[in-house]
Chain A
């Protein structure tokens, strides 16, 4: 950067820089631009424009290039050996929203399924859209259990921000009055089908301490004026969400936050811009900007701002910080605690039960509901009745009932007219429950920089070593047994519990790599998501999480981001940044 001149520096200077444009970065972009800050959003991947860059969104089945839109095995193995581990995510319809693993290497010291997409909008385009608040007991959990460090905030600190975010994104759901799954600002819930309704009434009467509710999902069922004005509309129940929604009916950065940000005229979006490190200014004791590598040209440049939001996803935000070394931060940016890159968490899943359901053969449904039912956590809630001796924390179930269609037992017995006619009728009802369990923060579940393996830009890559321990393994036994118990309580038949195995990452909820805490000696971020040791840098994605809860985390990232933006703008006005 020797030829850096004043004019160039001025042109590359903004009020704020946001790194990443996924669910957290989109929120930072919206909040900062709406509060009047000239904001540069740096996204490492290509542009994805709402509607026009959803090339497969309205394809009919017969337009598929491949059988059922599945990618050829050779393409999967060659380009998506990690992304294919979910078994469902990468298809002809969605592959442009996932990374090619052969171009984005990392080193698995233990198996870690790092499922991700590098493009404007990030995983907000392909997320599961389940939307739950962390509860008071989640924020108190570490302090109560003596695990890791205490959250520096409590539920009450975040509650108004949950309200704020829910009103903007639109969440359909049912208020239940549960302390451990707080109610929210909901649009009308989607409907349970006949079997789910029967399951709810039978299971709840057998287990009065358990609740069956409709999944809370970021889909519009009764759009507000604000949502309509952004061009969003009501969910049409196509259930083709991860192709991008032509109705803007589920929340994504592309359909909502980035649209709102763009309308302020304060947004500059720069795709294909890989942030390699933060620039630390020792004289000022602050970060002055970021170093950027252009993914298309390989050109290096620098951008400057008063405040920087890292929203590049848990592993990549921590990776950028680890790669930002200086005399002040020889072990990574703001890493005086040595906690940067540690405490990787996810939600463990792939365990539960399924059953066959009799007595509803004359019933069916219409529409494809992009949502299921939810069984909120019912273990270790603080009372004696729910306490477990064999593990701490808890799990929830996501599930649902359905009738398989023609694609049941594809290679199965029979051929000819009889089989054909049978397949044109729906198959027998089945119901399944799948657990999502909390993983504790373990200091040695960590990522480190790997200078021996460089990516195609010559940048160091990540080494990942994460495993679940006794607590999670004991919880999984209960997750399976309790799912069986619930389905049996409903009188369903042929109930089969299964633990199909879990590899860290498969929950696609990576978090914890730059945790919030009260003490700079044991945490990376403070109560406002500022780096303790450099307060004009905020980290508001999954990296910030001090514990994982068992609920889907995106809503909490969004609420933390909105709250941190509010703090940053106020602090900036007071001259504190």
Chain B
């Protein structure tokens, strides 16, 4: 059922973690991202939504989804927020560890992302109703949407039923098992 999306991420499938993946050439041609940005997005997306017992962001095509969103959906302000965020990630990686983000070790990468996540959380705490934008929140939102609206995300990680037929209002959660995709 999700063959197409699986093959989209074929270049990195089976690789052991972000470093190995980053070494590979991209299996797709970005239109809005530069090749370097695309490699970075590829690694960060997988850190945000990693492969577990279900496919990860890379395998379901989230990096391509983000490239497409930047090309066709985001307005200038949001595109700038995301691009500046990617630039900052490499700058922070260099100053902390002397290498661009994709070449850091996994713990180093997670440490940086944790810092960004805390920054974003602080902004939300400051003004919960309208928090100032933070690139990591924006990126995480796109990764999450891209993941769960992909075919494997909707049908494997979640449950999806395009034509339910009946409505049953009170069912044991154990019978359904996962959240509905729609």
Partners in one complex: yes
In the complex, B146 has a CB within 8 A of chain A? yes
Instruction: Tell me which residues across on chain A come within 8 A of B134, comparing CB atoms.
Output: 411
Which single residue of chain B is at the shortest CB-CB distance from A61? B149
A426 and B173 within 8 A (CB): yes
A238 and B74 within 8 A (CB): no
How many residue pairs link A and B with beta carbons under 8 A? The number is: 160
In the complex, B162 has a CB within 8 A of chain A? yes
User: B148 to chain A: closest CB distance in Å?
Assistant: 4
In the complex, A331 has a CB within 8 A of chain B? no
Instruction: Tell me which residues across on chain B come within 8 A of A36, comparing CB atoms.
Output: none
Instruction: Tell me which residues across on chain B come within 8 A of A201, comparing CB atoms.
Output: none
State which residues 360-383 of A face B: CB under 8 Å. 361-369
B145 and A410 within 8 A (CB): yes
Give complex CA distance A426, B166 in Å: 20
Give complex CA distance A411, B48 in Å: 11
In the complex, B130 has a CB within 8 A of chain A? no
- When the two chains form the complex, which single residue of A68, A236, A410, A424 contacts B54, counting CB atoms closer than 8 Å? A424
Instruction: Tell me which residues across on chain A come within 8 A of B165, comparing CB atoms.
Output: 236-237, 367
State which residues 292-311 of A face B: CB under 8 Å. none
In the complex, A190 has a CB within 8 A of chain B? yes
Instruction: Tell me which residues across on chain A come within 8 A of B48, comparing CB atoms.
Output: 415-416, 419
User: A310 to chain B: closest CB distance in Å?
Assistant: 39
Give complex CA distance A60, B2 in Å: 13
In the complex, A425 has a CB within 8 A of chain B? yes
A406 and B169 within 8 A (CB): no
A366 and B167 within 8 A (CB): yes
In the complex, A74 has a CB within 8 A of chain B? yes
Which single residue of chain B is at the shortest CB-CB distance from A362? B173
Interface of A is mostly: loop
Give complex CA distance A49, B142 in Å: 36
Give complex CA distance A424, B113 in Å: 22
User: B16 to chain A: closest CB distance in Å?
Assistant: 15
Instruction: Tell me which residues across on chain B come within 8 A of A416, comparing CB atoms.
Output: 47-48, 50, 110
Give complex CA distance A426, B173 in Å: 9
Instruction: Tell me which residues across on chain B come within 8 A of A364, comparing CB atoms.
Output: 171-173, 176
Give complex CA distance A410, B144 in Å: 7
B173 and A60 within 8 A (CB): no
Complex interface bits, B147-174 against A, C-beta within 8 A gives 1, otherwise 0: 1111100100110111111111111111
State which residues 93-146 of B face A: CB under 8 Å. 110, 113, 117, 120-121, 124, 134, 137-138, 140-142, 144-146
A415 in contact with B181 given A362-B172, A365-B169, A420-B52 (CB within 8 Å): no
User: B157 to chain A: closest CB distance in Å?
Assistant: 5
A420 and B164 within 8 A (CB): no
Give complex CA distance A339, B110 in Å: 68
In the complex, B178 has a CB within 8 A of chain A? yes
Give complex CA distance A190, B169 in Å: 9
Give complex CA distance A366, B181 in Å: 11
A67 in contact with B168 given A364-B176, A425-B179 (CB within 8 Å): no
A367 and B178 within 8 A (CB): no
User: A152 to chain B: closest CB distance in Å?
Assistant: 41
Complex interface bits, A409-435 against B, C-beta within 8 A gives 1, otherwise 0: 011111111011101111100000000
In the complex, A12 has a CB within 8 A of chain B? no
In the complex, B6 has a CB within 8 A of chain A? no
- When the two chains form the complex, which single residue of A60, A192, A238, A412 contacts B164, counting CB atoms closer than 8 Å? A238
Instruction: Tell me which residues across on chain A come within 8 A of B178, comparing CB atoms.
Output: 424-425
In the complex, B28 has a CB within 8 A of chain A? no
Instruction: Tell me which residues across on chain B come within 8 A of A421, comparing CB atoms.
Output: 52
Give complex CA distance A161, B140 in Å: 54
Which single residue of chain B is at the shortest CB-CB distance from A366? B168
B158 and A405 within 8 A (CB): yes
Give complex CA distance A420, B148 in Å: 10
Give complex CA distance A74, B77 in Å: 11
Q: What are 27 A-B residue pairs whose CB atoms fall within 8 Å in the complex? A: A61-B160, A62-B5, A62-B149, A67-B73, A67-B145, A72-B72, A73-B78, A192-B169, A197-B169, A236-B165, A238-B164, A363-B171, A365-B167, A365-B170, A407-B144, A410-B141, A411-B120, A412-B124, A415-B47, A416-B48, A417-B52, A420-B49, A420-B52, A420-B157, A421-B52, A423-B148, A424-B158
Nearest 6 pairs of A and B residues by beta carbon: A411-B137, A367-B167, A193-B169, A367-B164, A194-B170, A191-B169
Q: Beyond the given A67-B65, A364-B171, could you list 17 further A-B residue pairs with CB under 8 A, ordered by the A residue number?
A: A61-B160, A62-B149, A64-B149, A193-B170, A194-B170, A236-B164, A238-B164, A363-B172, A366-B166, A367-B165, A368-B182, A406-B158, A411-B137, A416-B50, A419-B48, A423-B179, A427-B179
